[in-house]
Structure 1
Amino acid sequence: MSSKIIAYQGEPGANSHMACADVYPGWETLPCASFEDAFAAISEGRAALGMIPIENSLAGRVADIHHFLPGSDLHIIGEYFLPIHFHLLAVKGAGIEDLRSVYSHVHALGQCRKIIRQHNLKPVITGDTAGSAREVAEWGDKTRASLAPLMAAEIYGLDVLARFVEDEDHNTTRFVILSREARRPPPGAGPTLTTFIFRVRNVPAALYKALGAFATNNVNMTKLESYMVNGEFAATQFLVDVEGHPEDANLGRALEELQFFSEEVRILGTYPAHPFRLRMGERA
C-alpha cells in the first residue's frame, strides 16, 4: 500500500480533489466514481486515506456517508472545512452572451440561481461539478457552460467567464479524513473532537436519559443526527460529535452512562478540531 495516496469521490477538479490538495499537497489522488468505491479503496489498501464530505452548511448532511461510515471499519483521523466557490466555465473563445445552457451538480445549480437567471440559462443536472466541466470541454460547444471549481478550469482547459458566482459567501463543506487505523491524539494535546454512533434501548425515556449524561458531565455536543437503520422505522441510529477526548474524565463518564441506556456505542474517531471550527466558536 502506498503511504501517499488519498481517495475521494468525484472527477479530477472536484471540490473533494481540492480538499485533498489543500490538506495533503504532493500526495497522489485517487478519484472514485462513488462513495462506496472510495471506501473500498481505503479498506483494500489501494489508498492510505480518504477525503469524504459529510455535511454542507447550505445543503445539509451527505446522506450516504451516514450509512457507509458505521459499517466500514474505517476511522476518522481528522476533519477539514472547505469554503465552496463556483465559477462559470466555457470553452476557449466563448463569451457569456453565447451561452444558452449551464451544466453542474444539482446542489451547485441550486446555489448559483442568480447568475443562471441573470443570463437566462437553462440549468441541466449532471452527476458531478468537475464532470460537467470535462463534458463541456469535450463538447466544444460555445453555448454550453459549466459551474465548477477553479481547479476544473485548469485541468480541462476552459475559460473562466465569471468568478465566485455562488449566491451565498458562507457556503462551506466539512470533510472527514478516513484511515484503516485509528490515530488518536494524546489527551491534552489541544482541542479535540470525538465522533461516535449509538442506538438506544427500547425503554421509556432512554434517549432523554442517554443525552442527559453529556449535560450532567458538561460535555458540549456539536452534532446529533438520527437516521433509520436497515429500512426499519423502529430502528434508529444516532451519529454524534462531541468536544473532548474519551480519556478526559467528563467525557469518559458520559460515555459510560451512555452504554447503560444503549444497545450499541461505537467510537468512529477521536481527532484534532480543525481551526475553522475554533474560529466559528470565537465568532459565536
Structure 2
Amino acid sequence: MQSYPAPALALVESMAAAAAREPARAVAFQGAPGANSHRAAMEALPGCLPLPCFSFEDALDAVKDGRAGQAIIPIENSQHGRVADIHFLLPESGLSIVGEYFLPIHAALMATGDGPFTGAYSHPQALGQSRHFLRARGIVPLSYADTAGAAAYVAELGDPSMAAIAPRIAAELYGLKVIEDNVEDAHDNTTRFVVLAREPIDPARIAGPAITTFVFEVRNIPAALYKALGGFATNGVNMTKLESYQRGASFAATEFFCDIVGTPGDPAVDRALEELGFFAKHVRMLGTYPLQRERG
C-alpha cells in the first residue's frame, strides 16, 4: 500500500480492512479507489467489498491467497484494444473466468486549478483513449499506474499546471476540480472486464447463452491454424474472438486467445474442441460463463 499516493492511502486502508473481515465478499481490482475497475466491481457485483490492488498481479494473487473471493480485470477496450499483459497473466494465474461485464468508459480532465495545463497523468490505456483531446490542447500525456491513482497523485502534487484523466468519481474522492467531462475520443468507448475466481462454473449449471474462453498453441506444421479452426466452422460454433500473441523471444511460439459461444458438454462444442486438440500443442481452458452481451 506504500506505493499509492498519500491521498489514496486512507481509502485503500479502510477498504482493505473491510475486505479482510469478509474476504468471501471481497472483489480485488487493479487501481486506486475511484478507478474504472472500482466502478466495474460495484456495478457488476452489487454488494461486494472492493479491494484495491496496486497491480494486476496483486489482484490475481489476492484471489489465489484467499484474501478476496473474486477479482475483476479489464481485458480489452473497444477503442484501444487489448489491455497489456492480460493474455499472459490470465493463463498463468490458475484462476477461472466466471463472468464478464461491459463498462461504458467516460473520463474527465481534473486538476487542482483552472489551467492552462502542460501535462496530464493517467493509465496508458486512458491516455490512448483520449489522445486526440490531449493533442488538440497541447497537453503532454504522462503515464501512471492507474486512472484514479493519477488523480490522487495530481492532488498530492498540488501543481496547477498538471491534470489527470480519470473517472469523475475520482475528483470527488480526492478533492479535484472537474475541468471537462467526457474527454474520451469515442463516446461509445467501452471496456470489457472479466470476473475471476478460484473455482470454475460448472457449464451444465449455466442457464442461457454462455461464452467459453481458452488459449491454445498450434503445432509448427503447414496450415495448422486453418486446420485447428476448421472444426468450429464445420460444427457451427460461433468464434467471437481470436487474437494471437507471442510467448518468449524466439517468435516461434504463437499462442491464441479465443472466445466461442457455447459450453463444453454441447456436442458441437465438444467435437470442435476435439478437432482443435489434434492440431494444437496444448489447449488451456480459462472458463465458461454467462454471456453478458450478445455478439454479432
TM-score, with normalisation over the residues of structure 1? 0.90
Contact 1:185 1:272 in 2 (8 A): no
Cα deviation digits, residues 134-170 of structure 1 (max 9, x gap): 0111122333221111121121122212111111112
Alpha-carbon distance in structure 1 between the residues aligned to 2:273 and 2:135: 51
Contact 1:184 1:269 in 2 (8 A): no
Provide the residue aligned with 2:141 in structure 1. Answer: 123
Contact 2:130 2:184 in 1 (8 A): yes
Cα deviation digits, residues 14-67 of structure 1 (max 9, x gap): 111111111122321121111111111111111110101111111111231111
Provide the residue aligned with 1:223 in structure 2. Answer: 241
TM-score, with normalisation over the residues of structure 2? 0.86
Are 2:127 and 1:109 equivalent residues in the alignment?
yes
The 5-angstrom pairing of residues 129-208 of structure 1 reads 129-186=147-204, 189-208=207-226
Distance 1:115 1:197, change over 3 A: closer
Cα deviation digits, residues 176-213 of structure 1 (max 9, x gap): 10000011343672111000111222333222111000
- SS state of the match for residue 207, structure 1? helix
Contact 2:147 2:166 in 1 (8 A): yes
Provide the residue aligned with 1:8 in structure 2. Answer: 29
Provide the residue aligned with 1:271 in structure 2. Answer: 289
Alpha-carbon distance in structure 2 between the residues aligned to 1:102 and 1:144: 6
Q: Please state how far the C-alpha of 1:117 moved relative to its aligned partner.
A: 4.4
AA aligned to 2:55 is S
Distance 1:153 1:229, change over 3 A: same
> Which of 253, 261, 268 is matched with 1:235 structurally?
253
Alpha-carbon distance in structure 2 between the residues aligned to 1:177 and 1:76: 6
Are 2:110 and 1:89 equivalent residues in the alignment?
yes
Alpha-carbon distance in structure 2 between the residues aligned to 1:71 and 1:102: 33
The count of residues paired between Structure 1 and Structure 2 equals 275
Q: Identity percentage over the alignment?
A: 56
Contact 2:244 2:255 in 1 (8 A): yes
- SS state of the match for residue 253, structure 2? strand
> Which of 37, 47, 59 is matched with 2:58 structurally?
37
Distance 1:75 1:41, change over 3 A: same
Alpha-carbon distance in structure 2 between the residues aligned to 1:113 and 1:264: 39
Provide the residue aligned with 2:76 in structure 1. Answer: 55
> Which of 255, 272, 275 is matched with 1:254 structurally?
272
Contact 1:77 1:184 in 2 (8 A): no
Alpha-carbon distance in structure 1 between the residues aligned to 2:130 and 2:155: 21
Alpha-carbon distance in structure 2 between the residues aligned to 1:187 and 1:48: 20
**Which blocks of at least 5 consecutive residues in structure 1 are unaligned?**
none
Alpha-carbon distance in structure 1 between the residues aligned to 2:67 and 2:202: 23
- SS state of the match for residue 76, structure 1? strand
Alpha-carbon distance in structure 2 between the residues aligned to 1:180 and 1:188: 18
- SS state of the match for residue 131, structure 1? helix
Cα deviation digits, residues 207-256 of structure 1 (max 9, x gap): 21110000000011011112222333222221110001111111111111
Contact 2:238 2:261 in 1 (8 A): yes
Cα deviation digits, residues 85-123 of structure 1 (max 9, x gap): 1101122xx335x54432222332333244434544343
- SS state of the match for residue 265, structure 1? strand
Q: Please state how far the C-alpha of 1:75 moved relative to its aligned partner.
A: 0.3
- SS state of the match for residue 116, structure 1? helix
> Which of 83, 96, 116 is matched with 1:75 structurally?
96
Contact 1:187 1:245 in 2 (8 A): no
**Which blocks of at least 5 consecutive residues in structure 2 are unaligned?**
1-21
AA aligned to 1:131 is G
Alpha-carbon distance in structure 2 between the residues aligned to 1:81 and 1:95: 33
Q: Please state how far the C-alpha of 1:80 moved relative to its aligned partner.
A: 0.7
